[in-house]
Every structure is written in C-alpha cells, then in structure tokens.
Chain A
Amino acid sequence: MSQIFQTVPIAHFVYFCSVLFCIGVVGVITRRNAIIIFMSVELMLNAVNLLLVSFSTYRQDPAGQIFVFFIMAVAAAEVAAGLAIITMIYRNTHSVDINELSRLKN
C-alpha cells in the first residue's frame, strides 16, 4: 500500500476530484465559447481519471489504471472529431459562440 494513504485518507482524494469535476461542470454551464466548453469537459475527464488512479492505488488493483488508458484514448478521439466540428462551424458562421448553434432548430 502506498505511503500516502497512511497520512492522507482516501476521502480527501475523493473531495479533491469532486471539486475539480464541479469546476468543470460550472465551466460547461457558464461559458459560451465552444472551445472552452470542450476544455471544461477535458477537466471533468481528468478528475475522473485521478479518482480511478487513486482508488486503483488504494486497492492495489491495476485494472483502474488500465481503465484510465481507455478514457485517455476516447478523450483523444473525441477531441479530434470535436475540434473538426468546431472548425467547420467557425468556417460557416465565423463564430464559436454556442448561441449561434440555436439556428439548427429551424
């Protein structure tokens, strides 16, 4: 078992990850720039990664760290496709404001 869990309880890691996740949620809700919304999603994914690694170390089970690899792979694919979509939106509307996208409903 790692040294850190003899002094810092696992709950403090969970609080830390919760705070990071909530900052990501607030970023998604309050910002209008589509790129910053993507970055907030990345922040939320990283909070979950940190939680998985801390529980993996706590329980001495490598499966959690393997799962982090797959989350990273999916995040990379998501960013590649998402930034292509944002680039195309910018090419058509000359803006990355997400309120421009409400035109899609007509």
Chain B
Amino acid sequence: MLASSFYFLAFITIFFAIMVVLSKNPVHSVLYLVLTFFGISGNYIFFLDAPFIGMVNIIVYAGAIMVLFLYVIMIMNLNAQIEPKKSNLFRISGAITGGALLLILTAVIRQSDLAGAGNNMINHGNIGTIKLLGMVLYTDYILPFEVASILFLVAMVGAVVLGRREEGKITIGNIPYQK
C-alpha cells in the first residue's frame, strides 16, 4: 500500500515535471511546476517523515518563488507570446544529452551498493520534527545561518539596484547596443 502510493506519486510528479519542459505557454509551465513541488512536498510529508521540510517547501517554493515567477511573466505579458522555436537539431541533441546523462546516472546507481550505505538507527523516525531541526540548526549550524542572512541582504540590495530605472535614460524600442 505504502509502496504503491509512493510509485503513484513519483509517476505523477515526473509527469508534471515533463509537462513543465514541454508546455508552450509559460504560465502553464509555472502552474505545472507548482504541481511538481506539491508532489515533492507530498513525498516529504507522507513518506520521508519530514513534515517541516514539506511545509517549508510548499510555503517558500509554491508560495513565494512561483508567485514571483508568475508576476514577472505577467508583467512582461508573455502569456500570449509564441516562443520562437529552436531548430529540431537542438531539440533532438538536448534530448539525447539528457538521456545520456540519465543512462550514466542509472548505470552508476546500479553499480553502487546503496543499501549498505550505513543507516544508524539511533533516533526512530522523528528527526524531521521542528524541535530537533531547530536544535541542530541553532547549535551546530549557527554560523552558516548567519551567513545566509548576509546573503539575503546582498540579494535584496542587488535586486533593488538591478530593477531600478535609471533617471534621465530613455530606452526607445529595441536599441540593443551602439558600436
């Protein structure tokens, strides 16, 4: 029962991920990506005993990042735009590249002995709780936590500086560059 529900969720997640790449409309791509994230969060919550990570994944990715993508797409009014197609040569070579990567990864996984990768059974299935994760985060990993806040500050300032419209500079139409 548990195994079959895992395979079902894995297959629909892979289906949504394929639809992200294949759909023509960028808005549809964003919505399929949200569904993919919901599938991954379902894996965290139901199968992997990590409910906190699952909730954070939904809130951060589906709630914040995807809304940001959706806003940018709607600001640029891309939903009606027909994307210029790459030639079939590029598409086929891209598919072959991805397939070759998957083949290599599969061969490596088959060769390796993953089941013997050492599972210590000290804690029994409760490592995903907020209490334990908070204890580990605020004791062992407190320095990377603080550095991440500096990273956010830099990203915020960078986004504001990049998104600012310069005063007195008028961009008319499609002026790419001047020699």
Could you tell me which A residues sit within 8 Å of B by CB distance?
Answer: 1-5, 7-12, 14-16, 18-27, 29-33, 35-36, 38-40, 42-43, 46, 49-50, 53-63, 65-66, 68-70, 72-81, 83-88, 90-94, 96-97, 100, 103, 106
Contacts and interface: CB of A to CB of B under 8 A. Distances in A.
Interface in B93-135: 93-95, 97-99, 101-102, 105-106, 109, 114-115, 117-125, 127-128, 132-133
B106 A15 contact: yes
Contact of B73 (A10, A35, A106): A35
Interface of B: 2-3, 6-7, 10, 13-14, 17-18, 20-21, 26, 29-30, 33, 36-37, 40, 43-44, 47-50, 52-53, 56-57, 60-61, 64-65, 68-69, 72-73, 75-76, 78, 83-84, 86, 90-91, 93-95, 97-99, 101-102, 105-106, 109, 114-115, 117-125, 127-128, 132-133, 136-137, 140-141, 144, 148, 151-152, 154-156, 158-160, 162-163, 165, 171, 173-177, 179
A77 B21 contact: no
A4 B159 contact: no
Contact of A80 (B43, B101, B155): B155
A26 B93 CA distance: 9
Given A60-B125, A66-B140, A96-B76, 14 more contacts: A4-B47, A22-B105, A23-B17, A25-B98, A30-B21, A43-B33, A62-B132, A62-B133, A74-B151, A77-B152, A80-B158, A81-B162, A87-B72, A87-B75
28 contacts: A2-B125, A4-B2, A8-B3, A10-B117, A15-B109, A16-B14, A19-B14, A20-B13, A26-B97, A31-B21, A36-B29, A43-B17, A43-B20, A43-B36, A46-B36, A46-B40, A46-B61, A49-B40, A60-B123, A61-B120, A62-B133, A65-B52, A65-B133, A72-B57, A83-B159, A84-B162, A87-B72, A94-B173
